[in-house]
Every structure is written in structure tokens, then in C-alpha cells.
Structure 1
Amino acid sequence: PQKCQRPAESPGADGKRCRQECQGPAERAAAYDKPAPAPAEKHIEADRAVGCCADLSVEMLVEIFALLPGTDLPNLALACTKFHHILQTNSIWRQRCREEFGLCENLQNLETISMSYREVYAKLFHPYRHILGLWWLDTEDYRTLLNVVVDGLYITGWTYGPCLNTHIDGPMQFKPAFRIRLTESKSATVECLEGHHSRPHNRHMQIQKDRFTTQCNKTDHLKDVPRRLMDEWGRVLVQEDRQQYDCLTYRRLYLPPSHPDDLIRPGLFQANCNAYGLSIAMLSFHGKYARVTKVTGDSNPSLEIHLMSRIQLPDGEMFSNFNELSRVVQEIDKQQQQEDGTEESEGHGWQSPVQQSVRESRAAASEEQPVPFFLPVGVLSRDQNYPRTCRMCFYAVDTVTFTVTLRGFAYTGRFPGVFILFDENHFGFIWQDVNYFILFSRVQNTFQNVEAPSPQAFLEMLKNIQS
């Protein structure tokens, strides 16, 4: 909080801090429920401010205050009695709720529950503002995605789950996990919306920096974990295996920043990776490299695309000869393993900044015409409805960590292949060793509060997902 600047001749010149300076966020937010400060407690600066605004109408002050961030208004309310009364105006807080949290409710809906916009802002939106955005739940068996949004007069957490019947070009499917609302006592409570046999019930929540935990003591509170089954013909089926749990930890998920030099706009993509249904992956660009990081699913492969190792495909001829394509990938792979070892010893790697050679290669590639694409003979895929033209191809490596439970150690597998860029919303990858193709399609859902505060924060988040 800002310090109160007092003149040397004022009564506060004895070195004591003013009352505003000692208050925390909660105390300042609670100031609206207290009576206006007594005249003896006013500061000289506050009196001068009142004098300066004496010629301004109340209507004009309401318009001015409505333009200020809601976090600044508690201190403003402590300045004088006039400001305190003006800041009770509902239209000020209605504008703050709309601009800062996207609330679209009207005043009539609030009057039916005897609640004001000021109370909604101070007791619901402001205390839980840090929970809004995207989160990922790292369970023992399966990762899921959580989107926390302002939903009318509630804050709702929507969980994304695997779905076999959804095509990769369709929107992500969510279901409610919890909601935060104001009760009749005008205090916020967290309600769990999960469980087979229970109505919404209380759920404990603890919010920390970049993560939060929830806990529910209901005995029927279960989580959905996909379980693979086989039918009588040997085909793979999936059903939800509901397992009991008592505490879940969610971690913040930032979307990658976008730069003009990127091949396409980075973001979230979904793919039919395995028999568990659709999985979500994140495409991000890091100088000479691009990275596809799996966010949801049963494992954490990391696809690294070498943007300086482009595979030329004249009219798509190399796709007709998969052996020739594999030979090219093997040659690049041997060369890249040597170069990667040199970069690691010199402290470089996929976090290196964009170089001029990368910009030039991307600019040249953007001017080329798409070439025909078709799956090479012998390459399998779950997705046959793939684009029939591609823009460019690059050498890429998929690294997957396997944990050997009996012996207690982890093994990292390295699988080279071909990264195929189709268009702005689709890319694919061909695993050379297993002759398999997977198609990625851009997630069409839009999300708010997903910007990383800094590039370092985004890179740290990637490391947490991959660990």
C-alpha cells in the first residue's frame, strides 16, 4: 500500500505510520462495511483532496471512480466521508465486475437475493480472483484439465474429461466440478458438484501461488479415471473407472506467448493419442525449436521439432516411398544427436532465442505452395480424415519416460520422426520406428486469464508438466 505523505508540521510527523499503511487487502476490502471515519482521523491530504473536488458533482465523481481498478477503491473510501458514501454507489461496482471479471448479470437479479455489486466484488470475485483460468490436475493415473470461470453470480470449475465420441475438430467437453457462491449470510462458500448420491455439498479449498487444493469428505466423492477393456473380438474399449479420493491438487496452466516469427499461432491442440480418448497438447515455440507438450492423458511425451532441420518434399514424392523418408530421418537424427550434445555442453538447447537464420527459413517457407500429402503405405493412424496437402515438414523427436516399477528406475525412450505442418490449425507427426501417424487439431474453445506473467514463468510451468 502507498504511504501517506504527511507534512512535517502535521500531527503525524512523530514517525507513526498512518492507518491506511498498516492495512492488508482484506482489511481494506472490509472498509466498506464500516461507518465513515471520524473527522479527527482524517489526514491533511484527504482534506485537501476533498477541497479540490468540492466543485465536482457526485455524478462526475461516480464516473471517475468507476474507471479505477477495484483494488484501489478501498483506500479511496478511507480518504473522507464524501468518498466513502459515493463508493457505495452500485453502478461503480457493476462496471468493475463487468470490466474485470466479465459479469453480465443485471441489477434485478441481484436484488432478488438482496445483494449488491459491491458485495459480489468484495466477497466473491476479489478474494477468489487468483483461481480464475486454466489448471491441470496431475493424478496418479490420468491428467485432466480444469477451467475456472465467472459464471453469472458464481465462480465455476469445469473439468475436461476424455471422450471417445468427440472428433478432434470438435469443441472440448467440460462438466462442472465445483462452484463458489455467496450464501444468504453473504459469505462465500465452495460447493462440490461431484459424487453420485449427494447434492451439492461443502468442499474445502486452499489457494496458493500457482496452485490450489480441494478436499471433500463425502464417501461417494469419486474421480473418473479411464480404464482400458478388451471385447471378445480383441478391440479396445474404454470405460470410466471411478476411484475414491479425498484431496486433489491443481497447478496453473499458462498458454504459450505468440511471436510474429512463429510458424503458426501456438496454443492448445487435441489429438486421438490412444484408446483413452482425446488428449490435449500444447504447441510452443522456442527459437530454433518448437515443442509439443502433452497436458492431459496417461503419459507425458514431449515432442521436440527442430526448425532448422527441414525435410524437403518435392510434390510429396517422399511420402510415396516410406523407406526413403526413413533414411532421410535417420541421417538427420545422427547429425542432430551430435549437435545436441554440443549445444548442451555449451549451455544452449531448446530455450535458445530466435536467430536470424530461423526467421529467414520461416519466411521462405511461408511463400511456398502446399504439396500433396497422403499416408505412406504401412503407416497406421486412428485419423483418416486428415488434410490432403501440407505446407512443410521438419525432423522431430518424441521422448517418452517409462517407469519400471519392479526395478524402481525410469527409462526415457527416444523416437525420431517427421513433423508435418498442414495449415494454421492442423499438424501431425509420423513415428518412424513404429510406423504410426497422429493428427493434432487446434482447440476451438477460448479461455481467459491464461497469460503468463513472464517468459520465465511459462518455461517453469513447462518443466513442471514434463517432470
Structure 2
Amino acid sequence: MTSITDLPPELLSYLLSKLPGPTLSRVALVCKQFYEATKIESVWQHRCKQDYSFIEENLRGWMFESYRIVYTKVLYPYGHIIGVWQPQIGPYGGLVTIKILDGAIRGTQYLPPVDPKVCMPLRVKELFQIQLSCEGYAQVECLKGPNGPHKLQILPGNSEGEFVLKCCKPEKHRYHESRQEELQEWIREEIGAQDGEQLLFNYDHHIELLRIKYIILNQYDGNCAFQKLHLPGPLDNVPIQPGLFKGTYGGHGIEIISLKYEEDKLRGYKVTGDPNVPACQLSLEVHLDEAMVLTKDDQQTLASIEAIEKEKVVVPQQKDLPNSQPFVNPVGVHDHGMADVSAKLNMPLKRCKRRYYGTGLIAMHGFRNSSRTPCHFILFHENVFALLWLELHSISIFHRVCEPI
């Protein structure tokens, strides 16, 4: 009879490559033949690809260009954090991607652009990296602050789909000795202030909101939990593809939402939030079965729009809807960045592709007295839509996040 240990090394390694990574480590202890077979690179190359979508291109740049070392020292202990995450920072949330890039696992934070330029790209900040040291061990480093990489711990979270970043030296995150200088520098960055421009700390409402945000963000600076963020994939036969969009939220500036289809509705959940409506809340809900077709005269004022009762509006079947209809921003409605989007697209926003009834979530500070208020969802372009808040007399513009998240 032939034993499995009598198989040629190439065949034995092929069979072993089908085993899970942790099992391979135990199999290596069985006998010398198994030990030698588990050292063959093709075994770990297969596991890297199957378990973490780690391919030959990803291997370049590592301190040790060995699938076995990268798998056992980095991917197996830390590969579960690769993906898109939302930091649990009070009401503010956030957007963080963790990818294999340039010989390391890198964590990158994406921040909304400076208000009110919704067409500007997201701001990028490097958070941490995991790479191999010269000795062949995983080196986990925090990249915050001006003082270079320093030690960081990655800990399990309280539930599945969570993890925690704990910086061992959060004092290295500071750029200035004085907290007041640190605050001023941070606010300048948030509002895009020019050098020498005075900040009205005591009077400007927007500045005061940022001041509160700075205080809360600092509470999570050294120890923060992250929750998995599941982004929807492309769909067929939908008015607009799902994905991430950045939009205007009045004094809170630009925020990011995740647009997805659920229960025959189009819903937008906040990825970044504010003290009024926090992250993760259902910010907008679009009723796809309540399409609208309005003339220019219908849209001259909010009163004329509100006078049109739903049962009197022509609501044809989706397949019978026109490909284009007039759009007019009603008199007295505050425009948040519409001219900026129009210039970016090099097209006047005088016509839209679709218009639907919907609702938007509003609340007082601290998410008190939350309620859903009537809105119109106005689709201009595959990457641009607007939300007309009827009761708030304002219109918010949303632009697709085009960065490779």
C-alpha cells in the first residue's frame, strides 16, 4: 500500500495548499515530509490568494518577498481588518480603508472636503501601517502626528466585525505645545482658512461646532473602535448606481453618505455625521414608486410645489418616465454649492433625469426630537443628485465619491 508520505513533493504540496492556513501549521508538525512540503512557496501563494486576495503584484515591496512569511506573520493575524471601516467616534463616524499597498497593510482615513466645495476630492490622512521588520516580525505602527511612526496595538472589538486601534504614545500626535494652538491649526485646516486669517471663536456658529467636534475627536485619538462598513455593489436597471456620496449639510459642512437600495426604496445612511443627526442614521429615503414630472411653472416657488397634491401629479410607470424634465431652483431656497457642481460638470443644472418624493431626517442638537421631513430627490447625473428640503427652504447637492475606496 502507498502512504500519503510517498507522494511526490509537488503533488503533496498541491494537496496541502487546499488546507486552511491554521491547519497547515499543525500539519507541518506531523512529520518531516509534511514539514518540507509546507515550506514550498506555491502552498502559501495559493492560500494568500484564496484567503486574502493577495496576488503576485501585492508581494512586491515587502521586506521578505515570501508568501509563507507574509501569510504567517502579517496576513493571518491582521488580514481580517482589510476592507472599509467606520470609526466609532461619537456622532461623527468616519471613513477608513485598509489595503495592502507598497509592502504593507495601510490604514487610510478619508475626510470630507472643505465646506462648501462638494466637488473637491476627499482629504486623505494616513493612520497606520503593518509591515515586516528586518527580523521578520510584524511591525504595527501609528502614523499620526509629526514625530514619525510609533507603536500601535490592534485589539479585537466587542463584537464580530469590529476591532480597536490603541496608540501606545498618543502624545506624539500633537503638532503644538499649546492646546489652543493645536485647536486653531485644526480649525484652519477644517475650514480651509488662509495663513493669517483671524478665527472668530466666540461668534461664528460654524467655528463653535468645529470646536465641539475637536474636543470629542480628541477623546478618541488614542483609543478608537472600528465597525465594518459594507458597501453595495453595482446593480442593473436602477435610476442611479449605489455607492458613497458627499453632500452639503448646512452649518455642519459636507458629510458622506452610503446610498443603497432596500425594500424597493433608495436609502442614504450617514457615514459621517454631526451632533444633530449622527453617523449610521438613515439620512434620506426615496420612494421610487412615487415619481414626479413637474413643469417650470410648477417649480417657481415652494408654495407652487406644495400646492400640487400627490394625486394630481402624473406618476407614470418607470419605463414611461421621460429621460429629462425641467428643473428650477424655487425662489427663496438656499442653494448649497449648486453653482460649484454645475461648473465642475461644465453643464447648467436646468434639467434633471428623475424626480421622486422622499423624506430626510432632521433633529435638534443631541439627536433630540428627530423627525422625517418631506423632500424631493432630484437626479441630475449618474454622479450628482440633489435633495430639496421643502420645510427647510434649502437644497443639498450630493456628488459621488470617485476615490478608489
Please indicate the TM-score interval, normalised by the length of the shorter structure. 0.7 to 0.9
CA change 1:230–1:308 in 2 (3 A) is: farther
**Which residue type is aligned with residue 49 of structure 1?**
I
**Which residue type is aligned with residue 105 of structure 2?**
I
Measured in 1, the distance between the counterparts of 2:61 and 2:202 equals 55
Alignment equivalent of 1:294, drawn from 257, 270, 281? 270
Measured in 2, the distance between the counterparts of 1:289 and 1:163 equals 28
In structure 2, what is the equivalent of residue 283 of structure 1? 259
CA change 1:176–1:108 in 2 (3 A) is: closer
The Cα of 1:415 is off from its aligned counterpart by 1.8
CA change 1:68–1:270 in 2 (3 A) is: farther
**Which residue type is aligned with residue 389 of structure 1?**
R
Measured in 1, the distance between the counterparts of 2:246 and 2:390 equals 21
The Cα of 1:64 is off from its aligned counterpart by 6.6
Query: What do residues 22-51 of structure 1 show as CA deviations (whole Å, max 9, x unaligned)?
Result: xxxxxxxxxxxxxxxxxxxxxx9xx64345
In structure 1, what is the equivalent of residue 153 of structure 2? 204
CA change 1:421–1:107 in 2 (3 A) is: closer
Whether 2:344 is the aligned partner of 1:390: answer no
Helix, strand or coil: the match of 2:307? helix
Measured in 1, the distance between the counterparts of 2:286 and 2:302 equals 20
The Cα of 1:289 is off from its aligned counterpart by 2.0
* Alpha-carbon contact 2:112-2:246 (below 8 Å) kept: no
Query: What do residues 43-79 of structure 1 show as CA deviations (whole Å, max 9, x unaligned)?
Result: x9xx64345x44xxx4566567667765664466466
CA change 1:212–1:114 in 2 (3 A) is: closer
In structure 2, what is the equivalent of residue 456 of structure 1? none
- Calculate percent identity across the aligned residue pairs: 28
Helix, strand or coil: the match of 1:143? coil
The Cα of 1:285 is off from its aligned counterpart by 1.3
Matched residues, number: 362
Alignment equivalent of 1:87, drawn from 38, 52, 56? 38
* Alpha-carbon contact 1:105-1:153 (below 8 Å) kept: no
**Which residue type is aligned with residue 101 of structure 2?**
D
Whether 2:402 is the aligned partner of 1:440: answer no
* Alpha-carbon contact 2:233-2:242 (below 8 Å) kept: yes
Runs of 5+ unmatched residues, structure 2: 175-181, 192-198, 343-348
In structure 2, what is the equivalent of residue 401 of structure 1? 363
In structure 2, what is the equivalent of residue 322 of structure 1? 302
The Cα of 1:442 is off from its aligned counterpart by 1.4
* Alpha-carbon contact 1:105-1:152 (below 8 Å) kept: no
TM-score (norm 2): 0.75
**Which residue type is aligned with residue 256 of structure 1?**
P
CA change 1:132–1:397 in 2 (3 A) is: same
Query: What do residues 403-431 of structure 1 show as CA deviations (whole Å, max 9, x unaligned)?
Result: 46xxxx93113321111122322211001
**Which residue type is aligned with residue 410 of structure 1?**
R
Measured in 2, the distance between the counterparts of 1:377 and 1:134 equals 41
In structure 1, what is the equivalent of residue 4 of structure 2? 49
* Alpha-carbon contact 1:103-1:150 (below 8 Å) kept: no
Measured in 2, the distance between the counterparts of 1:303 and 1:278 equals 15
Measured in 2, the distance between the counterparts of 1:188 and 1:118 equals 13
Superposition CA RMSD, Å: 3.8
Alignment equivalent of 2:286, drawn from 305, 313, 318? 305
TM-score (norm 1): 0.66
Measured in 1, the distance between the counterparts of 2:58 and 2:237 equals 43
The Cα of 1:275 is off from its aligned counterpart by 4.4
Measured in 2, the distance between the counterparts of 1:159 and 1:255 equals 16
Whether 2:86 is the aligned partner of 1:132: answer no
Taking the TM superposition and a 5 Å limit, the aligned residue runs for 1:64-463 are 70=21, 73-74=24-25, 77=28, 81-94=32-45, 96-97=47-48, 100-102=52-54, 104=56, 110=62, 113=63, 116-140=66-90, 142-164=92-114, 167-196=117-146, 198-208=147-157, 209-218=160-169, 219-221=171-173, 230=200, 241=214, 243=218, 245-256=221-232, 258-260=234-236, 262-298=238-274, 299-300=277-278, 302-314=283-295, 316-328=296-308, 331-332=309-310, 361-365=317-321, 368-383=322-337, 384=339, 385-386=341-342, 387-403=349-365, 410-447=368-405
Helix, strand or coil: the match of 1:127? helix
CA change 1:59–1:165 in 2 (3 A) is: farther
Measured in 2, the distance between the counterparts of 1:232 and 1:108 equals 52
* Alpha-carbon contact 1:103-1:152 (below 8 Å) kept: no
Runs of 5+ unmatched residues, structure 1: 1-43, 334-357, 448-467
Measured in 1, the distance between the counterparts of 2:156 and 2:403 equals 26
Using the TM superposition, name which of 420-429 and 69-78 deviates more: 69-78
The Cα of 1:169 is off from its aligned counterpart by 3.9
Measured in 2, the distance between the counterparts of 1:142 and 1:61 equals 52
